[in-house]
């Protein structure tokens, strides 16, 4: 299947999922209410569909696409199918940024938490980019990412520890679990700008990711400006991850799983996998968010909880399969 | 004839260890140069230092007269194609895409056509659509050789291109590289098999403990003394109907 055809097909499936996600939800609507929502967007059913659900679905799709693309980029750069957007520590530091903003009582200012999360992501991303420019070995980046993640986690725990009120603590916790509840069109638009830059950077790095298939030395001797492309890949993935965390909190496993869903369809190609991974990530998150809304629980399930509940066993399965192929 | 690749008293370190000391080398178009030496002697370091992959402590490495470190990747890739010893592939790309990596300067369709042609030359034409991780080590080595040929560079540098291959595949690989040299390219290969080096190379460079200790036509470079001192072998090269072979036993 050609790449264009694959993407069009995935786009179609995503569109169907998005329609289902806008149409279905906690509040069931009758046929006449659907008709009313379509004809009179300002009516109460119209409000439910267009003001509550549609922006939420849009944010879920954007965040999923960003995580899917960031995951595929990191897997290509680190030549490791188990890498994900969080591997460089960007998610953890971005989460820390949000925690600090909430704890400082900035939640009332619209966009303040998001901005703080994005700043966290940029700080972490800057550190990682500096490091990636100096060291070429994937192992160095992964180890540094582990350290940065742990440090970000520790500082977040410190924020919890010093948090003045249990309300703020609960708020931070809820935010960190990841959700696209109560998002409006502004949230989607705000996420769009850093994401667009991230997408452009990751796509530019595509040829370099493919060249890395044969290892660092072969890539360095190729005609490609690898040093620059590596920085594009790291910066792009960091921006996408940061924007995703800013928009929806920390949502695990989508960035890991999305590339795996489409890898066989592009013959393992780290360049051609980029667009399909983004679409797969969007699809995964739209469906996961729909599941979070439809699963009947007292408290609505957090999106990050749903993806982790399904994603963690899937990760185990992947690791199992990878381990078997390493042994043979 | 002007040299395409020169190393001028090159010294290089890896960590704290000096892996190459005052090594000088001159390679011209049309010749096949074999670099031999015991394990850990510095054969790979010699190539890497000369290509700018290893920072130099002293000396200068030049490609077509220009310092290798001053060349942009694109200009460097036009001058030299490199086949590293490492044959691992991170992803299971089809062979034609791996071979096409050597021709990233061409459009996708041109690169694909060239990749297929190179795969056919190395006897792997029927593997074009097979994933490289689904292949045997020998098959993958052919695909990687096809990638090297696809670079069309005037200098081809191959690190252990025949390691682990069948005798037939070893000879095919060296025949193909000789054909490139006959077509005007300069070819530099590191080899472990001294007999094979003597037969396939116009010139042999012997590396020992980071130094070039002998250099010249195979019979000169691999003299009885060098064989004894560097390789611990008692014997010499013997002319046969199939070319030079090594007849030796351990000292």
Q: What is the CA radius of gyration of chain B?
A: 18
Q: Tell me the C-alpha to C-alpha distance, in Å, between residue B97 and each of A103, B61, B125, B147, B236.
A: 52, 32, 13, 9, 44
Are A85 and A311 in contact, with CB atoms under 8 Å apart? no
What's the mean pLDDT in B169-193? Answer: 95
Are A73 and A198 in contact, with CB atoms under 8 Å apart? no
Architecture of domain A3-16+51-322: Orthogonal Bundle (1.10)
Confidence of residue A328 (pLDDT cuts 50, 70, 90): very low
Coil/strand/helix, residue B55: coil
What's the mean pLDDT in B209-220? Answer: 95
Quickly count: other Cβ atoms within 10 Å of residue B3's Cβ. Answer: 17
Coil/strand/helix, residue B238: strand
pLDDT digits (tens, 9 = 90+) for B16-34: 889 999 999 999 999 999 9
Predicted confidence at residue B170, as pLDDT, reads 94
CA dihedral B148, B152, B157, B162 (to 10 degrees): 40
Sign of the alpha-carbon dihedral angle for B173, B174, B175, B177: positive
Tokens standing for residue B208:
């020992």
Predicted confidence at residue A327, as pLDDT, reads 56
Are B131 and A264 in contact, with CB atoms under 8 Å apart? no
Q: Which of B42, B47, B40 is nearest to B211 (CA)?
A: B42
- The whole-angstrom distance between A324's CA and the closest CA on chain B is 14
Rounded mean pLDDT of chain A? 89
Q: How many residues are there in chain A?
A: 328
Burial class (CB in 10 A: 0-12, 13-18, 19+), B26: middle
Are B164 and B11 in contact, with CB atoms under 8 Å apart? no
Predicted confidence at residue B1, as pLDDT, reads 63
Judged by CB atoms closer than 8 Å, whether chains meet at A225 and B72 is answered as yes
Q: Which residues of chain B make contact with A218, given a CB cutoff of 8 A? A: 82-84, 86, 101
- On the question of pLDDT at B151 being above 50, the answer is yes
Instruction: Considering only residues B38 and B242, tell me which one the structure prediction assigns the higher pLDDT.
Output: B38
Predicted confidence at residue A166, as pLDDT, reads 83
DSSP letters along A165-189, please? Answer: -HHHHHHHHHHHH---TT--HHHHH
Q: How far apart are CA B46 and CA B181, in angstroms?
A: 21
A221 close contact with B: CB closer than 8 A: yes
Which among B89, B104, B144 has CB closest to A223? B104
Predicted confidence at residue B101, as pLDDT, reads 96
What is the distance, to the nearest Å, from the Cα of residue A294 to the centroid of all Cα atoms in its chain? 22
Chain A interface disruption, residue of B71, B72, B86, B90, most A CBs within 10 A: B90
- On the question of pLDDT at A189 being above 50, the answer is yes
B86 close contact with A: CB closer than 8 A: yes
Which among B73, B92, B97 has CB closest to A222? B73
Which among A207, A220, A268 has CB closest to B104? A207
Q: Which residues of chain B make contact with A212, given a CB cutoff of 8 A? A: 90
Tell me: ipTM over 0.85.
yes
A217 close contact with B: CB closer than 8 A: yes
- The 10 Å CB-count burial string (b at 16+, else e) for B68-97 is beebebeebbbbbbbbbeebebbbbbbbbb
What's the mean pLDDT in B104-133? Answer: 95
Phi, psi (deg, nearest 5) at residue B40: 75, 10
Residue A197's H or E segment, with its range, is: helix A185-204
Phi, psi (deg, nearest 5) at residue B85: -65, -35
Q: Tell me the C-alpha to C-alpha distance, in Å, between residue A171 and each of A137, A167, A272, B106, B233.
A: 39, 6, 40, 54, 76
Q: Which residues of chain B make contact with A270, given a CB cutoff of 8 A? A: 90-91
Chain A interface disruption, residue of B50, B101, B106, B143, most A CBs within 10 A: B101
Quickly count: other Cβ atoms within 10 Å of residue B140's Cβ. Answer: 21
What's the mean pLDDT in A68-96? Answer: 91
Judged by CB atoms closer than 8 Å, whether chains meet at A269 and B72 is answered as no
pLDDT digits (tens, 9 = 90+) for A41-62: 888 888 888 888 999 999 999 9
What is the distance, to the nearest Å, from the Cα of residue B240 to the centroid of all Cα atoms in its chain? 25
Chain A residue at shortest CA distance from B90:
A213
pLDDT digits (tens, 9 = 90+) for A127-165: 988 888 888 888 888 899 999 999 999 999 998 888 878
pLDDT digits (tens, 9 = 90+) for A194-237: 999 999 999 999 999 999 999 999 999 999 999 999 999 999 99
DSSP letters along A121-174, please? Answer: HHHHHHHHHHHHHH---HHHHHHHHHHHHHHHHHHHHHHHHH-S-HHHHHHHHH
pLDDT digits (tens, 9 = 90+) for B68-102: 999 999 999 999 999 999 888 999 999 999 999 99
Q: How far apart are CA B33 and CA B203, in angstroms?
A: 5
HSE (CB half, 13 Å, CA atoms) of A327? 6
Confidence of residue B128 (pLDDT cuts 50, 70, 90): very high
Which among A79, A207, A226 has CB closest to B90? A79
pLDDT digits (tens, 9 = 90+) for B99-109: 999 999 999 99
What is the distance, to the nearest Å, from the Cα of residue A108 to the centroid of all Cα atoms in its chain? 25
Interface of A with B in 150-209 (CB under 8 A): 207
């Amino acid at each position: 299947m050609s790449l264009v055809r694959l993407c069009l097909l995935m786009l179609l499936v995503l569109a169907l999922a998005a329609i289902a996600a806008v149409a279905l939800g906690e509040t069931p609507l009758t046929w006449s209410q659907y008709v009313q929502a379509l004809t009179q967007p300002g009516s109460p059913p119209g409000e439910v569909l267009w003001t509550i659900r549609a922006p939420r679905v849009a944010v879920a799709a954007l965040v999923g696409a960003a995580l899917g693309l960031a995951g595929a980029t990191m897997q290509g750069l680190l030549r490791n199918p188990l890498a994900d957007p969080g591997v460089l520590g960007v998610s953890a530091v971005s989460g820390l940024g949000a925690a600090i903003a909430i704890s400082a009582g900035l939640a009332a200012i619209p966009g303040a938490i998001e901005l703080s999360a994005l700043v966290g992501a940029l700080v972490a991303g800057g550190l990682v980019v500096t490091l990636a420019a100096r060291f070429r070995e994937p192992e160095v980046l992964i180890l540094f990412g582990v350290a940065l993640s742990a440090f970000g986690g520790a500082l977040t725990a410190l924020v919890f520890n010093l948090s003045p009120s249990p309300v703020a603590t609960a708020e931070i916790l809820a935010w960190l679990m990841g959700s696209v509840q109560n998002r409006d069109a502004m949230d989607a638009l705000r996420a769009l700008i850093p994401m667009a830059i991230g997408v452009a950077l990751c796509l530019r790095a595509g040829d370099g990711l493919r060249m890395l298939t044969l290892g660092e030395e072969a890539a360095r001797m190729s005609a490609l400006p690898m040093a620059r492309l590596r920085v594009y890949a790291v910066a792009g993935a960091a921006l996408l991850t940061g924007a995703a965390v800013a928009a929806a909190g920390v949502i695990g496993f989508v960035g890991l799983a999305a590339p795996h869903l489409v890898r066989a369809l592009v013959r393992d190609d780290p360049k051609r996998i980029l667009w399909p991974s983004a679409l797969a990530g969007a699809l995964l998150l739209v469906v996961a968010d729909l599941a979070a809304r439809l699963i009947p629980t007292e408290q609505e399930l957090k999106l990050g909880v749903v993806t982790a509940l399904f994603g963690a066993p899937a990760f185990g399965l992947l690791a199992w399969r990878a381990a078997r192929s390493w042994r043979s | 004839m002007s040299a395409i690749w020169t190393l001028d008293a090159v010294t290089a370190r890896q960590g704290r260890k000096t892996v190459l000391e005052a090594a000088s080398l001159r390679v011209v178009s049309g010749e096949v140069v074999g670099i031999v030496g015991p394990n850990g002697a510095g054969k790979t370091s010699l190539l890497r230092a000369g290509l700018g992959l290893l920072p130099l402590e002293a000396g200068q490495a030049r490609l077509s007269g220009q310092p290798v470190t001053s060349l942009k990747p694109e200009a460097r890739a036009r001058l030299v194609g490199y086949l590293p010893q490492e044959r691992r592939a991170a992803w299971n790309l089809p062979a034609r895409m791996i071979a096409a990596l050597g021709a990233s300067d061409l459009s996708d369709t041109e690169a694909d056509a060239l990749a297929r042609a190179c795969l056919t030359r190395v006897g792997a034409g029927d593997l074009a659509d097979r994933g490289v991780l689904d292949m045997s080590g020998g098959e993958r080595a052919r695909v990687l050789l096809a990638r090297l040929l696809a670079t069309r560079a005037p200098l081809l540098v191959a690190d252990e291109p025949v390691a682990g291959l069948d005798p037939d595949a070893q000879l095919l690989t060296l025949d193909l590289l000789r054909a490139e040299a006959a077509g005007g390219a300069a070819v530099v290969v590191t080899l472990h098999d001294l007999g094979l080096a003597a037969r396939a190379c116009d010139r042999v460079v012997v590396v020992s403990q980071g130094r070039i200790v002998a250099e010249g036509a195979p019979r000169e470079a691999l003299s009885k003394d060098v064989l004894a001192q560097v390789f611990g072998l008692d014997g010499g090269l013997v002319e046969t109907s199939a070319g030079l072979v090594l007849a030796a036993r351990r000292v």
